[in-house]
């Protein structure tokens, strides 16, 4: 239990009284105003205890309408620990307390407060009644409020602390036992193999044995919860999937393993969990509690699976808003209702059933039996959420009708598998197979839910990559991808994109209907989704997008946990797609909340609006390039000279550069990049040895095993990727070559050594013909243009390989020359068309190197960046043609100066800095991790040295979201990779003061860059 540190002289207490005094001075005495001061005090205390303050908290009561309490302090398991009701000075507080209790307000740990008085109730009795105009009494009341714990809570917190490591340990023991029994328990081997084949045919053909073992473990560890907490003793008999798994468990326990004995050490944990759940009055509270228990404990041994499917449970205000909005749309556009016969409804990614149960509450009770048995559908691919969803939906039906009836509308199936044209094989059970086949033939009218959001596996060693779907991948490719002008379309592989494509196709089959998804919001504005936006407006008549913001990657000033409604890093939107039977041209309506709103404010908005009709929508007019959000975009941008196009790369169009490319994508940066060449060589030799050993063993393996199960997962020896596994399967070996160690630019002004090998580097793109040899690094240059998309526009010239995330984000590289892969046959990369355009514009002769430097200067122009800011976020730059020869020459000269500063940054003079030494420390030039002082005038270099006197102008030169100097501070630190243990140390034994000198040089580069940029003439 967290201890509250609160004293009468603390700032929060003083601010409380100051706030009351201000209200008194203004003559404000009504409750809504004066309660703000006490709320701020409670919010301060909640931060200390790591609880969340929730204003206007809905107090749920079994079988009754919820009550609204002014505030509640909610713990990490989403259980309210304390309540607060505010009154003004004119109220008779004791009488108001009795009125609230008569209405059914909680009697456990609730404080009733007016500006001069507080009454605290705990365990259904009054604990104190005090004058809180006295600071001592105020502090005492608040401390007592936050210190209260019922016995069930004390038991639960003790169990949490004791067993937070034991659950994963028990899971590991179960896996070990299962693997032992698979060796010599014939009945279990037979049952396990049969079940594994069923799982692969039902869920994922690439499902590993380890994933099947995990399903058994999840069932064993959680089955008791469903029986005891949900009071469903017949759970394993009634649920068609649980029944099948129990047969495998029976075979596992047939010889020497006792389920009860094995789980006995966890009895206290389960007992505490059950007792804590019993104190929750409302079933939905129990459901929320158990969802959180699942996230915190039982997902702990299923992190890889959770990451693959992107499990994030949908907050109730979002669910409520979406369900009510669908009901409104059905009535307004179709003259129908969720309750109407013929309106088939599905949540294709049901999770724990929140959307379906909420839809059931929206329906008429008289319609529910028919809808429940015939027209309500949902799918889930993960076992535990499937169990929970089944029970939640069945319980909701019982609550609404008074009758228990198994829910036959849920399928354990991968929704994307339904798109495959092949005949479905046996899917777990005959009954589940029949349900799936029936669903495939159903004409759906409403598709609602929260699709999975995970686009990429972070590390192939995790063996949790998203599977490929032949039909769905093809549908995305032939529509969204085909009609996109973007070069980088990786984001279209995100499962939520497949979900929207699948849902769109199902509505197209039905000829009318509604899709309501809460998803990643990047499809609304990012350039790579232009083809998707085109098809959405072709497929639907009405599109409503309520953008809830929260994209931490685009706005680093906000926090995922505080501002994002899911607590994640990507932006979130609620999307309503409507197709009418008399289909016409699509219309797009958009609304966006303030990005700096906290998630509680966003939830309040959804609750106050109720449904989509109360939202203030703005109809947007998409442009010809399928940009939906065109605010700030300049209409003349398409008329400028394109730096590069796909058509020119294919030899069929005109642009300034013939070729452009992404940077090097290794998928194992910690292994193939390093400041130290000797350490890099050792790392590479280790990974090559491990990889080649796998090639030898693979070549002698017959029949060929599953590659994911075959490879060694030891992250200290190797880092796997899809490409490396493919090379393994092809029997390709790697030889160490000194010539493969090359110069590379990992981040701005951060040069490292890179081991570039076509097998060990996942994607080289076209870079091998840009810098094919060390010699080309002395003559070729390349302009890196970053981040049309997430971050601020960036540009920097390099003379070696840039990493794919050079600016912390993907970018494109435009070289001066290209070559053959052996370094011969140097070719100009500036097109003849570019020369013609510039010569015609300035009415004089120009050369391609001049054009190259003109472009570099133009990309730095403050006028250009400000005017075309919105355009540059969506697509590659286009360059204004020079108006006169003098203007052209001025930009060329500036471009040459900028190129010298940025390429030869290590040769620039040092800006003089004051070196402040710590007299108590010995001389030390070594860096571990630097940091800026709060006023940004000095860098704490280490505990011996501080570098002071940094001019504020140094921070004006920015690359993305950081200044050049901040890139140095961020990258020049000793870093140990958490997975591999590899150390990357920027300190140089041959030049101990290198980093100190580099800081001074980068300040010079920054100042001189801004001086040059500010002197540019108008474009």
835 & 942 share domain: no
Backbone angle region of 960, left / alpha / beta, with phi > 0 → left and psi within -120 to 50 → alpha: left
Confidence label for 912 from pLDDT (cuts 50, 70 and 90):
very high
Higher pLDDT, 405 or 376: 376
Whether 943 shows a pLDDT value over 60: the answer reads yes
One domain for residues 28 and 104: yes
For position 788, what pLDDT does the model report?
60
Name the range with the highest mean pLDDT among 43-57, 181-195, 570-584, 783-797: 570-584
Distance in angstroms (rounded) separating the CA atoms of residues 131 and 114: 10
Co-location of 655 and 802 in the same domain: yes
Is the domain of 894 the same as that of 974?
no
For the segment 445-450, the average pLDDT, to the nearest whole number, is 97
The pLDDT value recorded for residue 274 is 73
The mean predicted confidence, pLDDT, of the chain is 88
Q: Is the pLDDT of residue 31 over 80?
A: no
Give the pLDDT of residue 961: 84
Q: Do 887 and 860 belong together in one domain? A: yes
Q: What is the pLDDT of residues 58-97, one digit of tens each?
A: 887 766 788 889 999 988 767 788 999 998 777 789 999 9
According to the model, what pLDDT value does residue 456 have? Answer: 42
Token pair 């009341």 in the structure block, residue:
141
Mean pLDDT of 381-406: 84
Does the residue 677 lie in any domain? no
Of the chain, the percentage scoring pLDDT greater than 70 comes to 88
- SS3 state at 438: helix
User: Do 899 and 989 share a domain, yes or no?
Assistant: no
Q: What is the pLDDT of residues 240-278, one digit of tens each?
A: 677 777 778 787 777 656 777 777 777 777 777 777 767
pLDDT at 234: 63
Residues 95 and 216 in one domain: no
pLDDT digit string, tens, across residues 460-477: 454 445 567 889 999 999
pLDDT at 965: 98
Predicted confidence at residue 79, as pLDDT, reads 79
Instruction: Determine what percent of the chain is predicted with pLDDT higher than 90.
Output: 60
pLDDT at 232: 58
Q: How confident is the model at residue 310 (pLDDT cuts 50, 70, 90)?
A: very low
Q: What is the band of 20 on the pLDDT scale with cuts at 50, 70, 90? A: confident
What integer pLDDT is reported at residue 765 of this predicted model? 94
Q: Which of 872, 903, 934 is the last residue of a domain?
A: 903
- The one-character DSSP state at 763 is B
Q: Look at residue 455 in the predicted model and tell me its pLDDT.
A: 44
Residue 367 lies in a domain: no
Predicted pLDDT at 457 = 38
What is the average per-residue pLDDT within 947-961?
95
Angle at 628 between CA 626 and CA 629, to 5 degrees: 135
Q: Is residue 963 part of a domain?
A: yes
Together in a domain, 660 and 795: yes
For residue 969, give the H/E element and its range.
Answer: helix 964-971
Residue 866 lies in a domain: yes
DSSP assignment of 78-118 equals: S-EEEEEEE--TTS-HHHHHHHHHHHT---SSEEEEETTEE
Question: 521 pLDDT band (50/70/90 cuts)?
Answer: very high
- Classify residue 813 by its DSSP letter: E
Q: Pairing mode, if any, of strands 110-114 and 345-347? A: unpaired
User: Which residue reads 């060929």 in tokens?
Assistant: 704
* Position 301 confidence tier, pLDDT thresholds 50, 70, 90: low
Q: Is the pLDDT of residue 231 over 70?
A: no
| Domain stop point among 109, 125, 149 | 149
CA distances from 746 to 85, 809, 819 (A): 56, 12, 22
Per-residue pLDDT, 308: 44
- How do residues 565-616 score in pLDDT, each as one tens digit? 988 889 999 999 999 999 988 999 999 999 899 999 999 999 999 999 999 9
Q: d(Cα 524, Cα 501) in Å, to the nearest integer?
A: 15
How long is the chain?
1019
Q: Report yes or no on 852 lying in a domain.
A: yes
Q: Can you tell me the mean pLDDT for 619-633? A: 89
| Structural domain contains residue 416 | no
Chain Cα centroid distance, residue 1015: 41
Report the DSSP beta bridge partners of residue 540: none
Beta-bridge mates of residue 798:
782
Same-domain pairing of 876 and 805: yes
Highest mean pLDDT among 620-634, 773-787, 809-823, 895-909 belongs to 895-909
| CA angle at 210 for the pair 208 and 212, rounded to the nearest 5° | 75
Whole-number pLDDT of residue 229 = 60
Is 684 within the bounds of a domain? no
Q: Which of 139-148, 552-561, 803-812 has the lowest mean pLDDT?
A: 552-561
**With 70 as the cut, is the pLDDT of residue 439 above it?**
yes
Residue 424 has pLDDT above 70, yes or no: no
Q: How far is CA 569 from the centre of its chain?
A: 4
| 682 secondary structure, DSSP code | H
- The reported pTM is 0.74
Q: What DSSP state is assigned to residue 467?
A: P
**Confidence band for 286, pLDDT divided at 50, 70 and 90:** low
Q: Determine the structural domain holding residue 299 and report its residue range.
A: 153-309
Confirm whether 424 is domain-assigned: no
Would you state the torsion angle of the CA atoms of residues 623, 551, 602, 66, taken in this order, to the nearest 10 degrees?
Answer: 120
Residue 309 has pLDDT above 50, yes or no: no
Kind of pairing between the strands at 945-948 and 914-917: antiparallel
When pLDDT is cut at 50, 70 and 90, the band that residue 303 belongs to is: very low
pLDDT tens digits, 870-888 = 889 888 999 999 999 999 9
1010 and 877, same structural domain?
no
pLDDT of residue 614: 96
- Averaged pLDDT, 102-126: 92
Contact (Cβ atoms closer than 8 angstroms) between residue 393 and residue 360? yes
**Band of pLDDT at residue 458, cut at 50, 70 and 90:** very low
Phi-psi sector, 1009: left (phi>0), alpha (psi -120 to 50), beta = alpha
* Residue 799 token pair: 């003379």
Q: Quick one: DSSP state of residue 351?
A: T
Residues 140 and 50 in one domain: yes
Of 84, 118, 149, the residue that ends a domain is 149
Number of domain units in the chain: 4
Q: Where are the alpha helices (DSSP H) in 203-282?
A: 209-228, 235-238, 240-252, 259-263, 267-278
If you average pLDDT over each of 156-165, 343-352, 484-493, 784-793, which comes out highest?
Answer: 343-352
Are residues 250 and 230 both part of a single domain?
A: yes
pLDDT of residue 686: 96
């Amino acid at each position: 239990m967290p201890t509250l540190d609160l004293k009468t002289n603390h700032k929060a207490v003083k601010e409380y009284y100051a706030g009351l005094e201000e209200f008194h001075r203004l003559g404000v005495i009504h409750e809504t105003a004066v309660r703000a001061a006490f709320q701020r005090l409670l919010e301060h205390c909640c931060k200390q205890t790591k609880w969340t303050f929730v204003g206007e908290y809905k107090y749920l009561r079994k079988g009754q309408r919820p009550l609204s309490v002014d505030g509640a302090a909610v713990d990490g398991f989403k259980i309210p620990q304390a309540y607060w009701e505010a009154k003004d000075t004119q109220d008779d507080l004791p009488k108001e307390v009795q009125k609230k209790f008569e209405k059914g307000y909680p009697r456990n740990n609730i404080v009733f407060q007016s500006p001069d008085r507080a009454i605290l109730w705990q365990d259904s009795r009054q604990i104190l009644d005090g004058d809180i105009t006295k600071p001592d009494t105020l502090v005492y009341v608040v401390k007592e409020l936050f210190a209260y714990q019922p016995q069930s809570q004390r038991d639960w917190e003790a169990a949490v602390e004791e067993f937070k490591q034991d659950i994963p340990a028990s899971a590991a023991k179960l896996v070990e036992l299962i693997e032992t029994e698979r060796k010599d328990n014939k009945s279990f081997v037979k049952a396990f193999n049969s079940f594994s084949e069923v799982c692969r045919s039902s869920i994922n053909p690439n499902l590993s044995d380890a994933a099947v073992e995990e399903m058994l473990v999840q069932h064993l560890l959680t089955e008791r919860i469903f029986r005891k907490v949900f009071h469903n003793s017949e759970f394993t008999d009634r649920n068609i999937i649980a029944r099948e798994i129990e047969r495998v468990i029976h075979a596992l326990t047939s010889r020497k393993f006792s389920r009860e004995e094995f789980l006995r050490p966890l009895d206290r944990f389960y007992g505490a969990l059950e007792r804590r759940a019993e104190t929750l009055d409302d079933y939905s509270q129990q459901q929320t509690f158990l969802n959180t228990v699942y996230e915190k404990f039982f997902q702990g041994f299923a992190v890889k699976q959770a990451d693959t499917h992107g499990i994030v449970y949908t907050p109730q205000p979002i669910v409520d808003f979406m369900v009510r909005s669908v009901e409104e749309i059905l009535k307004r556009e179709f003259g129908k209702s969720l309750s109407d016969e013929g309106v088939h409804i599905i949540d294709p990614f049901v999770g724990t059933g929140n959307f379906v149960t909420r839809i059931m509450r929206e329906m008429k009770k008289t319609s529910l039996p028919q809808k429940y048995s015939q027209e309500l559908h949902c799918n889930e691919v993960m076992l535990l959420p499937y169990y929970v969803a089944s029970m939640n939906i069945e319980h909701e039906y019982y609550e609404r009708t008074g009758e228990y009836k198994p829910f036959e509308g849920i399928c354990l199936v991968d929704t994307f598998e339904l798109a495959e044209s092949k005949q479905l094989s046996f899917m777990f059970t005959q009954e589940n197979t029949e349900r799936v086949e029936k669903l495939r033939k159903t004409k759906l009218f409403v598709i609602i839910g929260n699709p999975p959001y995970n686009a990429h596996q972070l590390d192939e060693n995790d063996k949790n990559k998203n599977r490929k779907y032949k039909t769905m991948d093809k549908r995305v490719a032939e529509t969204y991808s085909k009609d996109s002008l973007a070069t980088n379309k990786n984001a279209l592989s995100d499962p939520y994109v497949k979900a929207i494509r699948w849902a769109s196709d199902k509505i197209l089959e039905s000829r009318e209907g509604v899709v309501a998804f809460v998803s990643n919001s990047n499809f609304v504005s990012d350039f790579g989704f232009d083809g998707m936006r085109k098809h959405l407006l072709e497929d639907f008549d009405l599109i409503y997008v309520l953008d809830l913001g929260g994209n931490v990657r685009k706005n680093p000033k906000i926090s995922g946990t505080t501002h994002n409604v899911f607590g994640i890093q990507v932006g979130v939107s609620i999307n309503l797609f409507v197709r009418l039977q008399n289909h016409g041209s699509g219309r797009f309506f958009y609304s966006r909340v303030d990005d700096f709103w906290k998630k509680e404010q966003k939830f309040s908005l959804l609750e106050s609006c109720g449904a989509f009709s109360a939202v203030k929508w703005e109809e947007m007019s998409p442009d010809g390039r399928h940009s939906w959000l065109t605010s700030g975009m300049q209409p003349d941008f398409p008329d400028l000279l394109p730096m590069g196009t796909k058509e020119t790369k294919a030899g069929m169009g005109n642009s300034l550069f013939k070729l452009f490319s992404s940077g090097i994508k290794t998928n194992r940066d910690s292994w193939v990049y390093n400041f130290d060449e000797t350490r890099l060589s050792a790392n590479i030799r280790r990974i090559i040895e491990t990889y080649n050993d796998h090639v030898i063993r693979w070549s002698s393996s017959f029949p060929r095993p599953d590659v994911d199960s075959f490879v060694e997962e030891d992250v200290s020896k190797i880092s796997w990727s899809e490409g490396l596994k493919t090379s393994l399967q092809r029997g390709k070996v790697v030889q160490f070559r000194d010539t493969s160690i090359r110069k590379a630019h990992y981040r701005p002004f951060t040069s490292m050594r890179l081991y570039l090998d076509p097998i060990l580097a996942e994607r080289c793109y076209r870079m091998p013909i840009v810098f094919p040899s060390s010699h080309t690094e002395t003559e070729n240059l390349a302009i890196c243009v970053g981040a049309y998309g997430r971050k601020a526009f960036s540009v920097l010239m390099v003379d070696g390989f840039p990493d794919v995330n050079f600016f912390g984000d993907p970018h494109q590289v435009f070289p001066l020359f290209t070559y053959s892969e052996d370094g011969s046959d140097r070719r100009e990369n500036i097109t003849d068309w570019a020369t013609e355009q510039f010569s015609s514009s300035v009415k004089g002769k120009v050369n391609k190197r001049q054009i190259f430097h003109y472009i570099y200067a133009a990309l730095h122009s403050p006028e250009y960046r400000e005017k075309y800011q919105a355009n540059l976020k969506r697509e590659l730059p286009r360059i204004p043609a020079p108006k006169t020869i003098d203007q052209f020459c001025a930009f060329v000269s500036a471009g040459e100066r900028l190129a010298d500063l940025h390429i030869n940054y290590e040769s620039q003079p040092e800006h003089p800095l004051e070196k402040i030494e710590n007299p108590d420390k010995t001389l030390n030039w070594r860096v571990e991790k630097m940091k800026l002082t709060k006023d940004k005038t000095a860098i704490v270099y280490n505990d011996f040295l501080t570098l002071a006197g940094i001019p504020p102008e140094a921070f004006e030169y920015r690359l993305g979201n950081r200044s050049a100097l901040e890139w140095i501070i961020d990258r020049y630190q000793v870093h140990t990779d958490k997975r591999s243990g590899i150390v990357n140390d920027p300190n140089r034994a041959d030049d101990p003061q290198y980093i100190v000198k580099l800081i001074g040089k980068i300040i010079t580069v920054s100042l001189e860059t801004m001086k040059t940029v500010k002197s540019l003439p108008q474009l």
